[in-house]
Amino acid sequence: MKKTSFLFLSLFIIVDLHAQWFWQNPLPQGQTLKDVHVFDENTAIAVGEAGTIIKTTDKGISWISLTSGTSSDLNSVYFVDSDTGWIVGRGQTILKTTNGGTSWSSQARQPYDPLYSVFFINSSTGWITGEDNTILKTTNGGTDWIFQQGVFPKSVESIYFTDENNGCAAGIDYNGSNYFGVIIKTTDGGTNWTNQWSGNWLLSIHFTDSNNGWAAGAGIILKTTDGGTSWNTQITGTSYQLYSIHFSDSNFGWASGYDGSTSSGIILNTTNGGINWNPTVSSANTVLYSVHSEDLNNGWIVGSDGVILNTINGGTNWTLQSKGNKYLLYSVYFSDSNNGWAVGYNETDTLAAVLKTTDGGTNWVTQIVETNTYLHSVFFTNSDTGWAIGSGSFGNGKILKTTDGGLNWVIQKNEVNYVFNSVYFTDSKTGWVVGQDVVAFSGLILKTTNGGSDWTLQTISSNTGLQSVYFVNPNTGFAVGIDYSASGGSILRTTDGGSNWTPQAGPNNYTLNSVFFTDQNTGWAVGGGILKTTNSGISWEPQISNLSGWESLYSVHFIDSNNGWIVGQYGTIITTSDGGVNWTSQESKTGYDLNSVYFTDTNTGWAVGRNGTIMHTTNGGFTFIEEEKTDKVPTEFLLSQNYPNPFNPRTVISYQLPVIGHVTLKVYDVLGNEIATLVNEEKPAGTYEVTWNADGLSSGVYFYQLKAGDFAATKKLLLLK
């Protein structure tokens, strides 16, 4: 096998490293998008926070996630043709592609951060702008970047050149007491710059030819007809914060941003070069950061929370192409691989939020819960019977129950001054809820033995705000939280169903948010660190004393004593396959806090969090390497038989594409249930291999199917353990 692997390395090059967490809500994704570049009426690329790059080739009907190789926020994208483009952002990020965005390479980092704007006049010559008076220039396609000298604005927000010599940049400067907008101009490719205008903040600049250009910013739009030597005000004194301006020709243009007076996105349109600007309030109540078009009819706008708008009639109508709920989600639970619930809070109407899926998360449906409650935790004993618990904004704790899968929810308990954080049931009758008394400033535990009809307050002696509860059996359970008196964490244990709770020994400098056990002896607690016990909680040892860059951890879930996942702040996902001896990071594709994680087997899991975030994996979140042969372009579509076959647990699937196109490669069981998605993106012509890891699946026959354009092929594989 090792000889074969070395042979593969000599024949292939890595073109993409795939992280197998992908968005289920919102769609196509939920990160803020900062810029969009339109190629034609069908094709566009958008970039944004947490390393997000998405592309459409079908007018926005579908968007494919592209791998950026970074989790840094991306602020600007520019292409000189359909293949060659650049992206810049935070973390000194400069990325380049030569294949239309299918793969991106990192160019040499510069000691300037963040970078705000990128523009190229051709495939060799381009400029980047950023914070701290930064303008960089390249004349070799980005291999080398030279810092340009001059008196520049503190924050150079946008740059545009009409040829290799003539260009303008706009930004924001500071004089020691006030911030103000600045436009600077060069006629020698950036060797020298002159200050042309100052006034309101300026965030975007665009030219249609060597004479006509526009700049936009804080309540203002300016126009030049002499290449930037002089600027005239077209709009001023408005409540519009305009982040982007773009013209298709010298008459037809758009500007996008945010209207502070209505707290909504704003789109401005002109058909006479800006003599008149017509405002349209966006249906998306969000900041619209970028607008771009390549003709008079077709254009895209992108903005915060992943919003995507498209027009095909010159802006008469804008269609919202992004979809999904933007609830603040605290907890997720699946009764099986298909039926699951995510709960939280609807910040728009202040009502509790419950989402349900019956197809593994492909579709999520909002369930109506008429109560003003932050739902913090959800638990089901089967696909019908479950509980959701939480509290109102003033500590009005509620326990809700459903017996019909969530169609109807009944309030079982409504307790003033209580905050309920976690719920756990060992069967349909016996369960516990933990939280805190906000008046007594102490922890609380409630128990029911009749499915929640009655709840009894259990006695604990702890100044702990309890965050999580887990029971191994009806007698043995654990609760963890925050010890207010010690400014650290607390672990409580019971062996008699909660009649008595005993504090457990362990490092008390960790605040603890979640606890999970795989058997009566083995468990983990996470928060400001990771603790593990192998003696039923009598003692706890830290697995990681220093999180090494990982932020606060909010939820832990294990499938067995070896395989587990933890999620937390800023999109953190870490995993172990050896019971926590080693933990490795996984690429989550989000920068939002992840509050809860749940797996039904070693491959299939979900994580939920802020802004309606629901992430899903079908291979345990692990990355795999897809490799492309480089000898010649195939002349036909082909899906090859996997090798080895039978296999355990890994096998290689090969396929070839004669043309560029959107490709899906999926694995199904004999009942037709989708088991894994191995490829779901646009691929150039070539020959590819994908390694599939079936660890966690039972022996049996499975099928893998390739779809590319009108081509489809299915083959059988056999897993023998």
126: Cβ contacts below 8 Å, ≥ 6 apart: 78, 86, 118, 119, 120, 137, 138, 141, 142
CATH domain 459-543 topology: Thrombin, subunit H (2.40.10)
Instruction: Decide: helix, strand or coil at residue 67.
Output: coil
Residue 449, pLDDT above cutoff 60:
yes
Instruction: Please report the sign of the dihedral spanned by the C-alpha atoms of residue 60, residue 65, residue 67, residue 68.
Output: positive
Phi-psi region of 675 (alpha: psi -120 to 50; beta: other; left: phi over 0): alpha
Phi, psi of 213 (to 5 degrees): -150, 165
Q: Residue 427 is which amino acid?
A: D
Cα gap 488→510, rounded to integer Å? 5
CB 299 within 8 A of CB 310: yes
Say if residues 352 and 397 touch (Cβ distance below 8 Å). Answer: no
405-414, 624-633, 672-681: least confidently modelled range: 624-633
**What integer is the mean pLDDT of 88-114?**
90
Q: What is the phi/psi pair of residue 501, to 5°?
A: -125, 130
Condensed to tens digits (0 to 9), the pLDDT of residues 32-51 reads 999 999 999 999 999 999 99
Report the amino acid identity of residue 557: H
Q: What is the mean predicted confidence (pLDDT) over 516-542?
A: 95
Domains 459-543 and 638-719 agree in fold: no
Closest CA to 37 of 93, 91, 97, 90: 97
CA distance 161 to 209: 9
The CATH T-level fold of domain 30-322 is Methylamine Dehydrogenase; Chain H (2.130.10)
Res 372: pLDDT: 83
User: Tell me: the pLDDT tens digits for 300-344?
Assistant: 999 999 999 999 999 889 999 999 988 999 999 999 999 999 999
Give 244-260 pLDDT, tens digit per residue: 999 999 999 999 999 98
pLDDT level of residue 295 (50, 70, 90 thresholds): very high
Angle at 604 between CA 67 and CA 698, to 5 degrees: 125
- In the sheet with 221-224, reading across from the earlier edge strand, the strands are 202-207, 213-217, 221-224, 232-235
Q: Which run of H or of E encompasses 434?
A: strand 431-437
Q: Among 25-34, 577-586, 664-673, 682-691, name the most confident range.
A: 25-34
**Once rounded to an integer, what is the mean pLDDT over residues 200-211?**
96
Which residues, in sequence order, are bridge partners of residue 135? Answer: 129
Q: Look at residue 306 and give its three-state secondary structure.
A: helix
Around Cβ 178, how many Cβ atoms within 10 Å? 7
CB 62 within 8 A of CB 44: no
Asked if residue 565 lies in contact with residue 604, where contact means CB atoms within 8 angstroms, the answer is no
Percent of the chain at pLDDT exceeding 90:
66
Residue 14 pLDDT greater than 50, yes or no: no
Q: Which residue has the higher pLDDT, 622 or 565?
A: 565
What gap in Å lies between CA 665 and CA 213, rounded to an integer?
46
Query: From CA 424, how far away is CA 510, in angstroms rounded?
Result: 23
Please provide the distance, in angstroms rounded to a whole number, between the alpha carbons at the two ends of the chain.
19
pLDDT of residue 243: 98
What's residue 629's pLDDT? Answer: 46
> Can you tell me the mean pLDDT for 500-526?
90
375 close to 345: Cβ distance less than 8 angstroms: yes
The yes-or-no verdict on residue 575 having pLDDT over 50 is yes
Backbone angles phi and psi of 94, in degrees to 5:
-135, 115
- Rounded Cα distance between 456 and 416, Å, is 15
| pLDDT per position as a tens digit, 108-125 | 778 888 999 999 999 999
Q: How far apart are CA 617 and CA 598, in angstroms?
A: 11
What pLDDT shows up at residue 13?
25
CATH class of 638-719: mainly beta
DSSP state for residue 459 in the 8-state scheme? P
Q: pLDDT at position 399, please?
A: 96
Amino acid 6: pLDDT: 25
| Residue found under tokens 């951890």 | 553
Strands 74-79 and 115-120: unpaired
**Taking the domains of the chain in order of start, what are their residue ranges?**
30-322, 459-543, 638-719
Residue type, 499: S
Q: Average model confidence (pLDDT) for the chain?
A: 89
pLDDT exceeds cutoff 50 at 625: no
pLDDT tens digit string along 462-507?
677 899 999 999 999 999 998 876 667 899 999 999 999 999 877 7
pLDDT digits (tens, 9 = 90+) for 370-399: 778 899 999 999 999 999 999 987 678 999
3-state secondary structure of 657: strand
| Long-range CB pairs of 492-499, under 8 A, 24+ apart, other chains included | 492/443, 492/460, 492/462, 492/464, 492/466, 493/536, 493/537, 493/538, 497/430, 497/447, 498/432, 498/445, 498/447, 498/458, 499/458
* pLDDT > 70 fraction of the chain, expressed in percent and rounded: 94
pLDDT bracket for residue 623 (50, 70, 90): low
The b/e string for 324-362 (b: 16+ C-beta within 10 A; e otherwise) is bbbbbbbbbbbbebebbbbbbbbeeeebbbbbbbeebbe
pLDDT at residue 550, rounded to an integer: 55
DSSP E strands, 20-165: 22-25, 33-38, 44-48, 52-56, 64-66, 74-79, 85-89, 94-97, 105-106, 115-120, 126-130, 134-138, 146-147, 155-161
Q: What span, in angstroms and rounded, lies between the C-alpha atoms of 384 and 404?
A: 5
According to the model, what pLDDT value does residue 681 have?
80
Q: Which residues of 468-502 are buried (b: 16+ CB within 10 A; e: fewer)?
A: bbbbbebebbbbbbbbbeeebbbbbbbbebbeebe
Among candidate residues 73, 191, 91, the one with its CA nearest the CA of residue 137: 191
> What's the pLDDT score for residue 371?
78
Q: pLDDT by residue (tens digit) across 118-172? A: 999 999 999 999 999 999 999 999 999 999 988 788 899 999 999 999 999 999 9
The sheet carrying 74-79 orders its strands as 74-79, 85-89, 94-97, 105-106
pLDDT category, 633, cuts 50, 70, 90?
confident
